[in-house]
Amino acid sequence: MNIYDYMVEKGLLAKKAARKLAYISTETKNNALIAMSEALVKNSDFILAENEKDITNGKNNGMSQGLLDRLALNIKRIEDMAQGLKNVALLPDPIGEVTKMWRNPDNLQIGRVRVPLGVIGMIYEARPNVTVDAAALCIKSGNAAILKGGKEAINSNIAIANTIIKAAVEAGLPEGSIQLIETTDREAVNVMMKLNEYIDVLIPRGGSGLIQTVVKNSTVPVIETGIGNCHVYVDEEADLEMAENIVINAKTQRIGVCNAMETLLVHKDAAQKLLPKLGERLKSLGVEIRGCEKTGEYIKDIVSASEKDWETEYLDLILAVKIVDSIDDAMDHIYIYGTKHSEAIVTNNYRNSQRFLNEVDAAAVYVNASTRFTDGSEFGFGAEIGISTQKLHARGPMGLEQLTSIKYIIYGEGQTRK
Amino acid sequence: MNIYDYMVEKGLLAKKAARKLAYISTETKNNALIAMSEALVKNSDFILAENEKDITNGKNNGMSQGLLDRLALNIKRIEDMAQGLKNVALLPDPIGEVTKMWRNPDNLQIGRVRVPLGVIGMIYEARPNVTVDAAALCIKSGNAAILKGGKEAINSNIAIANTIIKAAVEAGLPEGSIQLIETTDREAVNVMMKLNEYIDVLIPRGGSGLIQTVVKNSTVPVIETGIGNCHVYVDEEADLEMAENIVINAKTQRIGVCNAMETLLVHKDAAQKLLPKLGERLKSLGVEIRGCEKTGEYIKDIVSASEKDWETEYLDLILAVKIVDSIDDAMDHIYIYGTKHSEAIVTNNYRNSQRFLNEVDAAAVYVNASTRFTDGSEFGFGAEIGISTQKLHARGPMGLEQLTSIKYIIYGEGQTRK
């Protein structure tokens, strides 16, 4: 079968499943999630053996240590995935919630009810746990899932997907509720991006290369996730000890994540007191500093920052530092180089805190807190499928609610329009 | 200047305007809307003269009477547009509304606040009033608007746009808040569909050809509007007088609109009592009936329906009629041929009413009421920019709220992530 026909077959099956999933009971969905969880643990030997094949292939192909680490499974990681499934079962079911109901002048009773999106396509890279996480959130929100993982993880993904799909169907979910694209042919992604008839939304998860490819080529609606060139701006009137702690946390608490800080902006009148001590502390934590010319006056032995540094999401122990003349300069810098993910100001000035909250355009805007809090769990959503950096449909951490749409249900008694 | 550079220039200016529009005061926006309203009336002689040029060109090019009617302006229509602007000024400003605010376990105060989408691109056809309606709703919701009307209306649109733009800027809106694409080169739309960097969302309004072209070719996120192949299903246990009135209303109250009924589905056990009288009434109103074989047993002298009839949005005095064996058959027919716009059941059976509301996937699902109610004004939204038939971002009638996104604002006191 050619790739196009293969993908259409998957799409048709997903659409058929989605029609039933839309009004399946919460109990059936939860039972399926728990069965999937148990099956994962039961099948762990097989999954680990398949994962070992991917690891061996990766090593033979010279895969980096970082990627190998993302790819590798062990019993602890499988148990974590299994626990994740159980956690999703415990979350409230978003489907069927009537968020508003009113009567119009014709005495029609109009309700706004939460319904699934339909079929969600996930395109991701080497992390096999995304296969489980995405399937869990899609199922709980009543959506069918078509999963396309990276070729590096193909053996692991097939083992995991077959395990959870079998358990899900046995527990009563319609066939086609969860499907994995089992080919590593790159053409599959190209076809997937044009399957408007069968896929309601595509969510790419991974590096900026993958995400930009999907955004630029997909005619299926896309939710853009995860690129975070985040800033912390330390204002003139900041509490400097607080500023220091927030900067250290936002840069170093975990470096490879989208909500980590990449550029520090410092008001010129705070630089003298903040930077010498903070600079040494960052360096002692292994952070390489790339600063503007003035930064060099306060922190010794730093690399000169270039235009490219302001644009880069390092995801590494590197920090760009720029001294600015005013909050307006800081906000202009964020406007030009930011990716609308998470931005923070540290200040005790009321007016500046309000200006920053109002004028900075990002999914999450912080006063006096670390950017690292932009996360579904930290926000209280229970789980997340990614962090949207676009404005349409969903913005910021995406939990179950962000995987839903609405419909209007209207109760009449024979009304006609005049 | 080539078309690409021309469009990028518009995009850049819109983006710059959007940054300011996002936090401009409600008063300034309302003053602008009122100034635009007054300018339209004041400039009506000029606008009518320019519209006359389009009408003359249209007649010379053999434009149909229906299109000429949509294109034609008169003083009444200009006054209606002016009144529309004033009505939008009276609506509550959606921007800045905090829809939810809570504290997380770290004692961060997290708020969800409504913000504009940014830059909205409208692509539409011959109706010059869309220029005014779209500008009004975009401005009130804090968005910059890039408007691309049909070439048939180019003189009217330039006259209208220049009038309202001048008034808006004089009233304090940033330059670039409203822009019209003044070229009739078709390439402009092709460029617009790829301007992801400058346009946040495209809303096509018009016939299905235009909408499908935009959906299939745009990489800018699109909100699909307005195709309505709507059904009324008369169940076995329906009140037949009510059914008759709803069918007549849904088909004939206004025929050229997306929420009009196109196919009537009748339960086989209701056909005998319903169809003979209803058929004659429809025919007396000038409705051509295209029925399935069984329909011919109850209504005389009808056209035989073909597969194409089930698929067609007639927007005309034509009705397809099919007799079905059960509510399941009716819902299957709607699933296959419906466009997820508006669907109605007429029944007094409780279980069937609930099944229809739960299982039919459409923006608006009705029990015992006409599909013609799917409309921003009827729903109480005050105004509408179109009716979304997709599930992402907005579904059903789109008012001001549907032209917004959200951001999270987080008030901390030095919190860092553990």
**∠ CA B45-B47-B50, rounded to 5°:** 110
Find the CATH number of the domain harbouring A75.
3.40.605.10
Domain count, chain A: 2
Same domain, B181 and B258: no
| CB B205 within 8 Å of CB B226 | yes
Q: Which residue has the tokens 């609610």?
A: A401
A238 and A277: one domain? Answer: yes
Residues of B in contact with A104 (CB under 8 A): 373, 378-380
Asked if the structure places residue A30 within a domain, the reply is yes
Dihedrals phi, psi of B260, to nearest 5 degrees: -75, 150
Burial category of A100 from C-beta neighbours within 10 Å (exposed 0-12, middle 13-18, buried 19 and up)? exposed
CA A11 – CA A200 distance, rounded (Å): 10
Minimal Cα distance from A21: which residue of B? B359
A234/A211 same-domain check: no
User: What is the rounded CA–CA span in Å between residue B30 and residue B166?
Assistant: 15
| CATH code assigned at A328 | 3.40.309.10
Average pLDDT of A35-39? Answer: 98
Q: Does the pLDDT of residue B382 top 90, yes or no?
A: no
Distances (CA, A) of A257 to A251, A364, B19: 10, 15, 28
Please state, rounded to an integer, the average pLDDT across all residues of chain A. 96
Tell me which residue of B200, B205, B139 sits closest to B405, measured CA to CA: B200
Q: CA of B407 to nearest chain A CA: how many angstroms apart? A: 5
Shared domain check, B210 and B284 = no
**Strand pairing category for A386-388 and A396-398:** antiparallel
**Ranges assigned E (strand) in A12-134:** 98-103, 109-116, 119-124
Is residue A60 located within the same domain as residue A202?
yes
Q: Which among B403, B220, B222, B362 has a CA at the least distance from the CA of A118? A: B362
Give A122-149 as a DSSP string: EEE-S-THHHHHHHHHHHHTT-EEEEE-
Taking the C-alpha atoms of residue A146 and residue A303, their distance in angstroms, rounded to an integer, is: 45
B369 contacts chain A (CB < 8 A): yes
pLDDT in tens, A221-236: 899 887 899 999 999 9
Q: Is the pLDDT of residue B263 over 90?
A: yes
A263 and A208 in a single domain? The answer is: no
Q: Specify if B383 maps to a domain.
A: no
Shared domain check, A329 and A253: yes
Report which residue type is found at A92: P
How far apart CA B69 and CA B48 sit, in angstroms, is: 14
- List beta partners, residue B231: B263, B343
Encode pLDDT of B184-243 as tens digits.
998 999 999 999 999 999 999 988 889 999 988 998 989 988 789 999 999 999 999 999
Tell me what pLDDT residue A67 has. 87
Q: What is d(CA B299, CA B321) in angstroms, rounded to the nearest whole number?
A: 10
Does A128 lie in the same domain as A163? yes
Mean pLDDT along residues A240-245? 98
Residues B92 and B41 in one domain: yes
> Does B184 lie in the same domain as B274?
no
Q: For residue B271, what are the domain limits? A: 230-377
**Residue B379: CB atoms within 10 Å:** 21
Whether A399 maps to a domain, the answer reads yes
**Assigned domain for B24 exists:** yes
Q: Any chain A CB within 8 A of the CB of B402?
A: no
What residues contact B5, with CB distance under 8 A and at least 6 apart?
Answer: none
Domain-located, residue B384: no
Q: Which residues contact A373 (CB under 8 A, 6 or more apart)?
A: A259, A364, A366, A379, B104, B106, B108, B410, B415, B417
Residue-wise pLDDT for A284-323, tens only, equals 999 999 999 999 999 999 999 999 999 999 999 999 999 9
**Beta carbons of A119 and A200 less than 8 angstroms apart:** yes
What percent of chain B has pLDDT above 90? Answer: 92
In this structure, the answer to whether residues A139 and A32 fall within a common structural domain is yes
Which residue on chain B is closest to A360 by alpha carbon? Answer: B19
Determine, yes or no, domain membership for A361. yes
Q: Which residues in A lie closer than 8 A to residue B253 (C-beta atoms)?
A: 416-417
Asked if the structure places residue B385 within a domain, the reply is no
Check whether residue A212 and residue A234 sit in a common domain.
Answer: no
Which residue from B minimizes the CA distance to A367?
A: B411
Per-residue tokens: A138:
């899609």
Say if A385 falls within a structural domain: no
A51 min Cα distance to partner chain B (Å): 31
Instruction: Say which residues have a Cβ less than 8 Å from residue A110's Cβ, sequence separation at least 6.
Output: A101, A102, A103, A104, A408, A409, A410, B379, B380
- Closest residue to A104, CB basis, from B22, B378, B413: B378
Q: What local confidence, expressed as pLDDT, does residue B49 receive?
A: 98
Task: Say yes or no for a CB contact (<8 Å) between B102 and A411.
Answer: no
Mean pLDDT of A337-366: 97
